[in-house]
Amino acid sequence: MLSAILVVGLLAATFGIILGFSAIRFKVEGDPLVEQIDKLLPQTQCGQCGYPGCKPYAEAIANESAEINQCPPGGEQTIHDLAELLNLEIIPLNPENGAPTEKTTVVIDEANCIGCTLCIQACPIDAIAGAAKQMHTVIQSECTGCDLCIPPCPVDCIIITPVKHDFKTWQWDKPAMLAENKTDIA
């Protein structure tokens, strides 16, 4: 009787020590899955998905409270990558979040800018340079084309322009992967 208690107690204690040790050794900080999803998102921070930015959207995808088809700037490519990462079906982009468009940036018509700084406050990625009562300008290489600066502008001096490709920025179109086509291939 005594030996039974001792043996099982010893065994339990040993496993307890091993588990306790590995709990510290293999501690996971944060959610690595959120980081992986966040990397696939286009980082426009545009909020078209209904979340304040790409990271919150990534968190929502990770805990399965959001679909993967709410990112218009990423378009089909992002949906495809997310589906691959998360082992989900490829679904078409949710039209409620907007349609995928050609990549655009905004340009400030500098002659009409009154220097109100409203667009600077609206820009999620700090791509607009300027100060109060000074002319503002958009840093083209930083602009993600989220168009969030357009509604606050009181004089409507911000214009959407398609990105012009030169030899350095041109690339092949991304392959179209519609959900309908996918089933034909499979």
Partner 1 sequence: MTEFALILVSTVLVNNFVLVKFLGLCPFMGVSKKLETATGMALATTFVLTLSSIASYLVNTYLLAPFELEYLRTITFILVIAAVVQVTEMVVHKTSPLLYQVLGIYLPLITTNCAVLGVALLNVQTEYNFLQSAVYGFGASIGFSLVLILFSAIRERLTVSDVPVPFQGPAIALITAGLMSMAFMGFSGLVKG
Q: Which residues bind partner 1 (CB under 8 A)?
A: 3-4, 7-8, 10-12, 15, 18-19, 22-23, 26-28, 31-33, 36, 62, 85-87, 183, 186
Q: Which is nearer to partner 1, 18 or 139 (CB)?
A: 18
- Shortest distance, position 10 Cβ to partner 1, whole Å: 8
Q: Which is nearer to partner 1, 4 or 132 (CB)?
A: 4
List, in order, residues 6 or more apart from 144 with CB less than 8 Å away: 42, 43, 44, 45, 46, 73, 105, 125, 127
Nearest to 147 by CA among 130, 165, 131, 124: 124
- Backbone phi, psi, residue 128, to 5°: -110, 125
How is residue 174 annotated by DSSP?
A: P
| CA separation for the pair 76, 73 (Å, rounded) | 9
Q: Which is nearer to partner 1, 2 or 111 (CB)?
A: 2
- Shortest distance, position 57 Cβ to partner 1, whole Å: 17
- Shortest distance, position 33 Cβ to partner 1, whole Å: 5
Q: Which is nearer to partner 1, 89 or 109 (CB)?
A: 89
How is residue 123 annotated by DSSP?
A: -
- Shortest distance, position 87 Cβ to partner 1, whole Å: 6
With residues binned 3-state (H G I as helix, E B as strand, rest as coil), the percentages for the chain, rounded to 5, are: 35, 10, 55
